[in-house]
Amino acid sequence: GAPIFLKSTDPAELAREHKRLGYGAAYCPAVKLEEKERIRAIESAFQAEGVVISEVGRWVNLMDADPAKRAANLKTVTDGLALADEVGARCCVDIAGSMHEKVWYGPHAKNFSKEFFDAAVENARKIIDAVKPKRAKFCYEMMGWAIPDTADNYLKLIKAVARPGFAVHLDLCNAVNSVDKFYNNAALSRECISKLGKWIVSSYAKDLAFIPEMNVHFVEVVPGRGEIDYKAFLTALRSLPAPAPLMIEHLKGAEEYAEAAKYIRSVDAAL
């Protein structure tokens, strides 16, 4: 799946456009938790076209240093999980947060601390326990400079949270945070999926290029233009016990998304 650029808010038109573009998954269309009729209309329309709603994204800092903002962000994500459960999305996803003072997702030494880990566990439990989801899962997106940054650290979180409503959102490119992982990303994708597979409910499709500079600099590019081994990645995804949406993101417009989708489909067709 991927974002679409149809100028419409009608659920049926949006669902048909996803199908026309060949997508079997979608980001949740704009809707508020209190808009019950629209939620039902979205769920019905996308089901009718056979398009899975992959996620409700709630991109806020659950580790904000300001207690009032932190509480508000927790409510935002809690409402996001409630919405995901009502609309039939696979998950509600956010990052675990950051201790960075200015950038809500920025790098910080404490993002790997016991304090951070414990807070991430507490937040996940609070969100899940408040909603008690019956269908959707709550996930933290993998990050290169904050827990969960590796498959093993994600496993530790899963064990510590100890809730069936907690699952995995796989972002392979975010897990590439070293030169070794960049050049051995095929092995990394296999490791992540072999260790986390039964918990994976959604994943992102991106690509990375290594920009020659005096320090390590990876940059996101359109899938197919970088060095991520999509043959290995898609092969590993095929081994999942249950199919999970693969969502393209962070591109500049319809043409780039079409290019990415064409590339990913071509690799998949050759497997």
Q: 141 and 93 in contact (C-beta within 8 Å)?
A: yes
pLDDT of residue 216: 96
pLDDT of residue 85: 99
pLDDT of residue 179: 98
Q: Is this prediction's pTM over 0.75?
A: yes
**Which of the 8 DSSP states describes residue 215?**
S
> How far is residue 221's CA from residue 210's CA, in Å, rounded to a whole number?
10
Averaged pLDDT for residues 27-54: 98
Exposure letters 212-245 (e unless 16+ CB within 10 A, then b) = eeeeeebebbbbeebebbbebbbbbbeebeeebb
Strands (E) located in 5-150: 25-27, 52-57, 91-94, 137-141
Burial class (CB in 10 A: 0-12, 13-18, 19+), 268: middle
What would the two tokens of residue 143 be? 């990050």
- Beta bridge partners of residue 138, listed in sequence order: 92, 166
Averaged pLDDT for residues 238-248: 96
- Per residue in 148-165, pLDDT (tens digit) is 999 999 999 999 999 999
Q: Do strands 91-94 and 200-205 pair parallel, antiparallel, or not at all (unpaired)?
A: unpaired
pLDDT of residue 187: 99
Domains in the chain: ranges and CATH: 11-269 (3.20.20.150)
Averaged pLDDT for residues 20-25: 98
Q: 260 and 251 in contact (C-beta within 8 Å)?
A: yes
Within 10 Å of residue 41's Cβ, how many Cβ atoms? 18
pLDDT of residue 189: 98
- Per residue in 125-147, pLDDT (tens digit) is 999 999 999 999 999 999 999 99
Averaged pLDDT for residues 179-186: 99
Q: What percent of the chain has a predicted confidence (pLDDT) above 70?
A: 100
Strands (E) located in the chain: 25-27, 52-57, 91-94, 137-141, 166-170, 200-205, 207-210, 218-221, 246-248
- Beta bridge partners of residue 57, listed in sequence order: 93
- Position 9 confidence tier, pLDDT thresholds 50, 70, 90: very high
